Chains A and B, each alone.
Chain A
């Protein structure tokens, strides 16, 4: 059984479009995260939710909006996509907010043309 799953795995879209990435974890974890990994492989946290509540909101354009319908799901919606949004987006989860032993999803490679 997959612990943390993301869909889609690849996403190619044009500038200005709106897209969503879905994430689900079946580990019973309380905390979920979104990370962005750029072309230089630098991994940076974007958001963190604990029991559906937003607890970390890094300096990210407000075109990015996370939504957590329940603690097993954390989706990422991106409005008005820009070229600079091209990256791999990873969802992750951990037992609680202390980041200990995070499990990462397989990643979504977003390409904006």
Chain B
């Protein structure tokens, strides 16, 4: 089965840096995604990691360590509009037929304060 853990809530100050962690336990790991979801809106894709290391995209970076079952999303120069839920999602490849599955964590609600 799949088990994904993220903190439920975090608070950070405008202009600061925040790191949102995600740990997972899964068989057939085949990649990890981060999505942003503003209240009342649809999730939007932020990043994808399949190999160990850091992927940088503007103010957002995502890190993966497959051996530790660990990822984090790093948000720099926080802005008020970054207040949202951040969802970690793990893709796995199961069975001989190569069936992909995707499991979302419960999300981390980030509040950015002035």
Interface residue ranges, A against B (CB under 8 Å): 40-45, 55-56, 90, 97-107
Contacts and interface: CB of A to CB of B under 8 A. Distances in A.
B67 interface: no
30 contacts: A40-B106, A41-B37, A41-B85, A41-B106, A41-B107, A42-B106, A42-B107, A43-B107, A44-B104, A45-B101, A45-B102, A45-B103, A56-B99, A56-B101, A90-B42, A97-B100, A98-B31, A99-B31, A99-B89, A99-B100, A99-B102, A100-B31, A101-B48, A102-B43, A104-B42, A104-B43, A104-B44, A105-B42, A106-B41, A107-B42
Centre residue among B42, B87, B106 by max chain A CB count within 10 A: B42
A111 to B, nearest CB: 14
Contacts of A105: 42
**Interface residue range, chain B:** 20 to 34
B43 A90 contact: yes
B45 A101 contact: yes
Centre residue among B48, B85, B87, B104 by max chain A CB count within 10 A: B104
A105 to B, nearest CB: 6
A56 B102 CA distance: 10
Nearest to B101: A56
Nearest to A55: B99
Nearest to B33: A99
A98 B100 contact: yes
B36 to A, nearest CB: 11
Which 10 A-B pairs rank lowest in CB-CB distance, beginning with the nearest? A104-B42, A43-B104, A99-B102, A101-B45, A104-B43, A42-B106, A99-B91, A106-B42, A97-B100, A41-B107
A13 to B, nearest CB: 20
Contacts of B91: 98-99
Contact of B48 (A100, A104, A107): A100
